[in-house]
Amino acid sequence: MPNAIDLVTDVPGPRSRAILERKRRVVCDPLDVHVPTVIDRAEGARIHDVDGNAWLDFSSGLGAQLVGYSHPKVVEAVQRQAGRVSHTDFSVVPYEGYVELSERLLQKTGFGDGGKVALFNAGAEAVENAVKFARAATGRPAVVCFDGGFHGRTLLTMTMTSRYKPYKSGFGPFAPEVYRLPYAYPYRSPDPARAAELALEGIERIFATQVDPSSVACAVIEPIQGEGGFVVPPAEFLQGVERICRLHGILVVADEIQSGCGRTGTFLASEHFDLHPDLVLLAKALAAGYPLSAVLGRAEIMDAPGPSAIGGTYVGNPVACAAANAVMEIIDEEGLLERAEQVGKVLLNRWLDVASEAPQIGEVRGVGSMVGVEFVKDRATKEPDEGFLGGVVAGAMKRGLITVTCGPYHNVLRHLIPLAITDDELEEGLDVLAAAVGEARAAAGRPDTLESEGE
């Protein structure tokens, strides 16, 4: 089969250059661009730019295109709904699509008849409103979050987000009554075998000395950290967090904005860890790129705020709900939970092969298709190597593959691959990444094999 990637011009091509120059003049500089090209159309895992170049996208619009770009079923649902009604405020005149999606989400997340749903526009809104629900239900003011967490860019969610650059620097003062707890990051723990135990001891110590747990409404935690480095904690850590929270009457909020909707091989990543949250947050892949997020939880929590205390003009937009209902059907009909497992196995196996010859790879980790690769200067010291990964990303991009990074040290390659990707496309993209790693090693003057370095 012909390759999916086909670069027919320099990058950026002439039309992209002209548009990017217009962008420079009228769009604020903080909205910089990662890929120096301008998209024209896309399908599945392929992007076509305005100059006729074809790319593979391993970022899926930062995780939103789980079912693939321009899935026919999503396109048809959006067109049909837009032709009927594109917007009304649900709290003024309700519509069935919102109700239908809520029913589907409760069934998929296990809340069933005992749960309820509220829809919003973006992940940060879901986090903000989850805190509102928790405060209303508990009568408590404080919120705890975790080292390495990312929850958004609004005032409250920026406060909860761990990494200060680029998300927080110069934007204070921050929201009050937000406290940060340790998160189990086995690779960077002083004792990886005891990572869960050490982190839980740290939480207990903070609750004993710094934060009165009886004042805490909720603990907002990512079952697998996204922006924080695709960190997979031990199951006993998440279960220990839940145990501590139950002991103190603190609600557990699972931020599944990046890990949810099937990316890990189960609809919620929480399922892999036997974590039972009181509230669950979804966004990104939920509506195939249309602005939509969700808070799901036990009915008594979701009903706690008073009438009209929760809402917004655009929340749960009819067109976005139509897209999300189509996504829910696609996940089932196309077996995307199973596909996530298959993609993940290919990713893990291929990166372990690359790591056998590239000592700059410190760890390959993940669940399902949510796989991260951490790059270091030395495997013994684990010193992060942001520069090497930057070279890999640039090398992949010049070959027509779009990738994104994460982690507190900007040294983790993350895979947010559309699950509509074909086996051939997946292998082609991984071939590009392997070549980019080899090129980065050559540029750094490193030998080709571990054996030549005496490892």
Question: pLDDT tens-digit profile of 303-338?
Answer: 999 999 999 999 999 999 999 999 999 999 999 999
CATH 3.40.640.10 maps onto the chain at: 73-333
Cα(336)–Cα(421) distance, rounded to whole angstroms?
Answer: 11
Nearest to 379 by CA among 361, 367, 396, 393: 361
Whole-structure pTM value:
0.94
Cα(416)–Cα(425) distance, rounded to whole angstroms?
Answer: 14
CATH 3.90.1150.10 maps onto the chain at: 14-70+335-453
The domain 73-333 is placed in CATH, from the list 1.10.10.10, 3.40.640.10, 3.40.50.970, 3.30.2130.10, at: 3.40.640.10
pLDDT of residue 444: 85
pLDDT of residue 164: 87
pLDDT of residue 446: 58
pLDDT of residue 48: 98
Three-state secondary structure string covering the chain: CCCCCECCCCCCCHHHHHHHHHHHHHCCCCCCCCCCCCEEEEEECEEEECCCCEEEECCHHHHCCCCCECCHHHHHHHHHHHHHCCCCCCCCCCCHHHHHHHHHHHHHHCCHHHEEEEEECCHHHHHHHHHHHHHHHHCCCEEEEECCCCCCCCHHHHHHCCCCCCCCCCCCCCCCCEEEECCCCHHHCCCHHHHHHHHHHHHHHHHHHCCCHHHEEEEEECCCCCCCCCCCCCHHHHHHHHHHHHHHCCEEEEECCCCCCCCCCCCCHHHHHCCCCCEEEECHHHHCCCCCEEEEEEHHHHCCCCCCCCCCCCCCCHHHHHHHHHHHHHHHHCCHHHHHHHHHHHHHHHHHHHHCCCCCEEEEEEECCEEEEEEECCCCCCCECHHHHHHHHHHHHHCCEECEEECCCCCEEECCCCCCCCHHHHHHHHHHHHHHHHHHHHHCCCCCCCHHHCC
Which residues of the chain are under the pLDDT cut of 50? 448-455
3-class secondary-structure state, position 294 = strand
3-class secondary-structure state, position 252 = strand
The domain 14-70+335-453 is placed in CATH, from the list 3.90.1150.10, 3.40.50.720, 3.30.499.10, 3.20.20.10, at: 3.90.1150.10
| Rg of the chain taking only CA atoms, in angstroms | 22
pLDDT of residue 404: 97
pLDDT of residue 445: 78
Cα(243)–Cα(213) distance, rounded to whole angstroms?
Answer: 13
